[in-house]
Amino acid sequence: MKNIFLVLLLLTSSLSCYSQKKDISTARGYIKSGKNLHKAEELMWQLLDDSLNRGNKKIWLTLYESIYKQYEIENEKLYLNQKYDTVALFMQTKKMFSVLESLDSVDALPGGDGKVALSFRKKHAETLNQFRPNLYSGGIYFIRQQQYDVAFQFFNEYINCATKPLFALYHYLNNDKMISKAAYWAVYCGYKLNDPKATLRHSYLALKDSSNYCLMLQYLSETYLIENDSNRYYNTISEGFKKYPTFPYFFPRLIDYYSKRNLFDKALEVCDQALTTDSLNINFLFAKSTILLNTSRYDKCLEVCDRLIALNDSFPDAYLNAGLAYYNQAVEIDKNFSIARKQHAKIIQFYKCALSYFEKYKILAPDQKKKWALPLYTIYLNLNMGKEFDAINQILREMKN
């Protein structure tokens, strides 16, 4: 019985070996003729589906040759200014890297004597080194097509060559000036994909690209925010603001970070630092006026608002903050009945001062009814402005409905 099983096993092995040789021969015939190249490739992938075949170097070589021949045909069309398949050209390049890297892993396995005898590394490294710029170009191409997942794969392959034994002699990390730019684009793709792992994978290398350092800090900030890593997020926006105070991303987020933690003095420090770089910046001044307003430093808030209006008399929120600076003071006094009776004149004066700012804000921002309607209602009521009060009362009723 055992002999029967042994015979069957040998027969099966023999048939498998025959089938394998036949498929390789068929594929090589396709490659030599330049026809049915996709079939040649498919035959080899089918053989490699069987894990027992993955140590067969002939299969990997035949697979590579089938892909290279497809690449060669498309590249010739490009050279002759004929219509060619751009996507196929790039994808074939990427497949060549994948196949020869896999073959190199097989080639690097020790033989029966326990020794490694590399047969292909030098030749294949030289070949792929010539094609490697195509990986970078392919990444750029797919970014333009907004296929960020595919683009990432190309940049990832380009960068990973630096750490693969196949390319050890090229010392890409030290010699390739484009590798940090490829890393930047890989980070960019990860950022666009909203994939923190992809964004961070090559961030160390990407930060070496000084031309894109500012944007790198932005992408990293967003990624740390997604990961709820508040320490890294804070450190990154802080660095970003220190290095690029006028860049629109870092300043508002650093202000928001401090404000949410009631660290208003820190937020004011940031405003003052920003204003040393651009004293006429509307956004810096507005942020400062808002912090001063929210911390009840009304006189200083009004100074900043009046400066804002002098710089740009069409900036609506400057009028809103100034109006609120007067309005809030009136409301705070009016809340305390015993004080309100003694300081009625002061209350009225605050409402009068607030009136002009709110009416100007209403003109500049007519759609912002939620911000100006109720304050104007209170002001008109306290100043006995019957006609205006009736009009604003009607607006509030319409808002409720």
User: Tokens 């001063």 map to which residue?
Assistant: 292
Q: Are 89 and 71 in contact (CB under 8 A)?
A: yes
Cα separation of 304 and 348, whole Å?
Answer: 23
Asked whether residue 11 is assigned to any structural domain, the reply reads no
Say how many domains are in the chain.
1
Tell me the pLDDT of the chain (401 aa) as tens digits.
555 544 444 444 444 566 788 989 999 999 999 899 999 999 999 999 999 899 999 999 999 999 999 999 999 999 899 999 999 999 999 999 999 999 999 999 998 788 888 999 999 999 999 999 999 999 999 999 999 999 999 999 999 999 999 999 999 999 999 999 999 999 999 999 999 999 999 999 999 999 999 999 999 999 999 999 999 999 999 999 999 999 999 999 999 999 999 999 999 999 999 999 999 999 999 999 999 999 999 999 999 999 999 999 999 999 999 999 999 999 999 887 767 677 888 999 999 999 999 999 999 999 999 999 999 999 999 999 999 999 999 999 999 87
Asked whether residue 336 is assigned to any structural domain, the reply reads yes
In which domain, by residue range, is 297 found? Answer: 280-401
Asked whether residue 59 is assigned to any structural domain, the reply reads no
Q: Domain of 372: which CATH number?
A: 1.25.40
Provide the pLDDT for residue 336.
Answer: 78
Taking the CB of residue 41, how many other CB atoms lie within 10 A of it? 24
Provide the pLDDT for residue 117.
Answer: 86
- The 3-class SS string of the chain reads CHHHHHHHHHHHHHHHHHHHHHHHHHHHHHHHHCCCHHHHHHHHHHHHCCHHHCCCHHHHHHHHHHHHHHHHHHHHHHHCCCCCCHHHHHHHHHHHHHHHHHHHHHHCCCCCCCCCCCCCHHHHHHHHHHHHHHHHHHHHHHHHCCCHHHHHHHHHHHHHHHHCHHHHHHCHHHHCCCHHHHHHHHHHHHHHCCCHHHHHHCHHHHCCCHHHHHHHHHHHHHHHHHCCCHHHHHHHHHHHHHHCCCCCCHHHHHHHHHHHCCCHHHHHHHHHHHHHHCCCCHHHHHHHHHHHHHCCCHHHHHHHHHHHHHHCCCCHHHHHHHHHHHHHHHHHHHHCHHHHHHCHHHHHHHHHHHHHHHHHHHHHCCCCHHHHHHHHHHHHHHCCCHHHHHHHHHHHHHHHC
Asked whether residue 208 is assigned to any structural domain, the reply reads no
Cα separation of 215 and 183, whole Å?
Answer: 13
Asked whether residue 178 is assigned to any structural domain, the reply reads no
Provide the pLDDT for residue 335.
Answer: 84
